Structure 1
Amino acid sequence: MADDDPAEQIKELSATLASVESVMDLDAKRTEIEQLREQSADPDLWSDQDNAQKVTRRLSWLESEVNRVKTISQRLEDLAVLFELAASEDDPDTRTEADTELGSLRKDVGELEVRTLLSGPYDEREALVSINSQAGGVDAADWAQMLQRMYLRWAETRGYPTDVYETSYAEEAGIKSTTFAVRAPFAYGTLRGEHGTHRLVRISPFDNQSRRQTSFAGVDVVPVVEQSDHIDIDESELRIDVYRSSGPGGQGVNTTDSAVRITHLPSGIVVSCQNERSQIQNRATAMNVLQAKLLERKRQEERAEIDELRGEGARSWGTQMRNYVLHPYQSVKDVRTGYETGNTGAVLDGDIDELIDAEIRWMRSRERGEDV
């Protein structure tokens, strides 16, 4: 059968890769790389730290994307030779090695194909992720911290820089809330499907009777604002509080009231920043986070109005999006896509790419009005 013929499978993967390259427009990316390299060689670049970091992050990401495609293309060529070698020498070990590489390439090409689906108006942006503990008491606070670690580990393994703006620690264990930025192009488009309620079922480590506990944490993902974005914020509608940064157990981190909390009174949105020692810097960062959240709210309201005009109100996404079960069995299941894995340890350690890929495909199908 053709499906079992390695040559046909390699040919099919090569065709898919060619279509991906076309959508990614690698020539345009190479041109931009050369322009960014010229900018990065300018000794005056670092006079503006924020712009310099933006240039270097963009350059690093573009080089990574181009090299990723180039590497996969070379691996496909090498794989064809490997299969030929296995057949000519009738070597089962070489054939096993080739079959393993074929499976790996199928996965890698699939991930690249998913990237081409990120075409929303803000998908190319960096992401702001907020996590809040919900129902479940101390277990929920612990769960929120587990999720924070999961996403930070995911970003770390992909080489994405992160900035933790604020973490509010719970008294006994875990965190009440946290906000952090993922500093990579397409971070928002990649992570926006993580928005919603995450449910954990396990034997509570905080229950002296070792009973099963269900706890919840909410994840919010919004795009980082850019200078072209315009959201009017009336200063009279803000309540600004300053306080001393604190760590686990309520211990003070700073000796001055440098942390800033901003409440947008009309919407009830509250943002905080405590990662800088300067109150002025924390206020500026908190305002940027507020801008991002208000921009996302505006986008959602506009989308809701369009959906209502189309009669699509019933198609809104539910808030609970994923279940993590550690007892009495091991399972992580996305309630929307149906994707499920029993490797809970790997997921909680940041291995969430397959869950994310399934989300992206699901969201694009919904946005196109396709059946899923």
Structure 2
Amino acid sequence: MSDHIALSLAEAHALGCKALSSQGFSAAHTQAITDVLIAGQRDECHSHGLYRLPGVVQTLKTGKVDPVAMPEVIDHAPGVVRVDARFGFSPLAFNLGRPKLVEKARRQGIAALAINNCYHFSALWPEVEAIAAEGLVALAMTPSHSWVAPAGGKRPVFGTNPIAFAWPRPEGPPFVFDFATSAIARGDIELHRRDGKQLHEGWAIDSEGNPTTDPTAALAGAMLTFGGHKGSALAAMIELMAGPLIGDLMSAESMAYDAGAGVAPMHGELLLALDPKVFLGEDAPKHIARAETMFEAIVEQGARLPSQRRFAARAQSDANGVSIPKSLYEAIMALAN
């Protein structure tokens, strides 16, 4: 008997929607959250796919998140739009704020979207891809819970603090990267623990500050930044830009707000959108073509562009559907029923 369940994308989406709506999420939140979960599953980003759904529900059951909160979109300044998520999950807040962000970027070349008071569980690439689909360059960043020690330190200060970037291309999907400034994503360590696998050296330390490859010890200790002091500096930048700059929590403050509940982080998110057509005017096609020359120089020597694996997985999932562990399927079905 297979230990996985095969689903079409439509079946997977319907399953996610049924589970979330059964648990009390509004129709708007149900749709927005499920869209993000299925995007991760479709692209074989398993740590950000349906695997996250039980955690979303657990955050709800602690009473931390408002499942029916309607975000407030605020036209804050000529180049800034703010969205108060009102303590709901972030996907709906982004969906509601994105049109105003795009409008402002097209008008003046650059604009920022600050999302406040949101619970965040998802990857950032769905958001920067959505902005790039409008022909705009996109950058996104957010803190999380303080799980990550600074370079040379032994105690958590930073979150996994992901940063994502998207560059629209004339043909095909955009150039996209999305990575945590920690050596590995928190969800991937949890997957290693679930699957009984050891971590790579350099990913984490235990509660005494000693290097460890044991995922359980790592989750009780601290993760490490990638690239030593360079990743640590980027993590600090993200704390500042997506924290104090937009009037929201840093990772340590988010952890304190959690108060031991162990649920999704509550903080803010900063997104930037830039319009090449405003920056470049009639010269835009010429300079966009120069970018394509760089991409070609990368791939012609056998290197791959970031997200190429995801895009290939997406094509396969669009054609053949997805599969999830039977145990996860049964857990989601229990929530749906």
In terms of fraction of residues, the more helix-rich structure is 1
TM-score range, shorter chain: under 0.3
Max Rg structure: 1
Relative to the length of structure 1, the TM-score reads 0.24
Q: Which has the higher contact order (CA 8 A, sep 6+)?
A: 2
Relative to the length of structure 2, the TM-score reads 0.26
